[in-house]
Chain A
Amino acid sequence: MLALEALDVYYGEIHALRGVALEVRGGEIVTLLGNNGAGKSTTLKTISGLLVPRRGAVVFEGRALGGVPPHEIVARGIAHVPEGRRIFNRLTVRENLIMGAYLRTDGGIDADLDRIFELFPRLKERVTQVAGTLSGGEQQMLAIARALMARPRLLLLDEPSMGLAPVLVEQIFATIGSINRQGTTILLVEQNAAMALSIAHRGYVLETGAVVLSGTAGQLAENAEVRRAYLGE
Chain B
Amino acid sequence: MDFELLVGIFPQVLLDGLLLGFMYALIALGYTMVYGVLEFINFAHSEIFIVGAFVGVEILLGLKSAGLLETLPWPLVLLGVMLGGMLASGALAVSIERVAYRPLRSAPRLIPLISAIGMSFFLQDVIRLVESLWRNAFNLVYPTLEPLNERFELTSTIDVSAKSMVVIVVALLMLWGLHALVNRTKIGTAIRAVAEDQAAASLMGIDVNRIISLTFLIGGAMGGAAGVLFGVQYSLINPYTGFIPGLKAFTAAVLGGIGNIPGAMLGGIVLGLLEAFAASYMSLLTGGAFGAEYKDIFAFSVLILILIFRPKGLLGEVVRERA
Contact status B205-A103, CB under 8 Å: yes
Smallest beta-carbon distance A99→chain B, Å:
5
**B187 to A, closest residue via Cβ:** A102
List, in ascending order, chain B residues with CB within 8 A of A95's CB.
Answer: 189, 192-193
Contact status A74-B203, CB under 8 Å: yes
List, in ascending order, chain B residues with CB within 8 A of A130's CB.
Answer: 319
Smallest beta-carbon distance B147→chain A, Å:
44
A146 at the interface (CB under 8 A from B): yes
A-side interface size class: 35 or more
- How far, in angstroms, from A72 to B207 measured CA to CA in the complex? 8
Contact status B202-A71, CB under 8 Å: yes
List, in ascending order, chain B residues with CB within 8 A of A134's CB.
Answer: 322
Contact status A89-B186, CB under 8 Å: no
- How far, in angstroms, from A72 to B320 measured CA to CA in the complex? 33
B-side interface size class: 20 to 34
- How far, in angstroms, from A7 to B125 measured CA to CA in the complex? 52
Smallest beta-carbon distance B93→chain A, Å:
23
Main DSSP-derived SS at the B contact region: helix
List, in ascending order, chain A residues with CB within 8 A of B200's CB.
Answer: 82, 86-88
Contact status B204-A102, CB under 8 Å: yes
Contact status A100-B204, CB under 8 Å: yes
**Given A89-B319, A132-B320, A132-B321, A80 and B196 contact (CB-CB distance below 8 Å):** no
**Given A71-B202, A89-B196, A91-B196, A98 and B189 contact (CB-CB distance below 8 Å):** yes
- How far, in angstroms, from A134 to B323 measured CA to CA in the complex? 10
B206 at the interface (CB under 8 A from A): yes
- How far, in angstroms, from A91 to B190 measured CA to CA in the complex? 10
Taking a contact as CB atoms closer than 8 A, the residue among B193, B207, B208, B321 that contacts A99 in the complex is: B193
Where the two chains meet, the residues of A that have a C-beta atom closer than 8 Å to any C-beta of B are: 48-50, 69-72, 74-75, 79-80, 82, 86-91, 95, 98-100, 102-103, 130, 132-136, 139, 146-147, 150, 163
Q: Give 29 A-B contacts (CB < 8 Å), ordered by A residue.
A: A50-B199, A50-B202, A50-B203, A70-B203, A71-B206, A71-B207, A71-B208, A74-B203, A74-B204, A74-B205, A79-B203, A86-B203, A87-B200, A88-B193, A90-B319, A91-B189, A91-B193, A91-B196, A98-B186, A98-B189, A99-B189, A102-B190, A102-B204, A132-B319, A132-B320, A133-B322, A146-B204, A147-B203, A150-B204
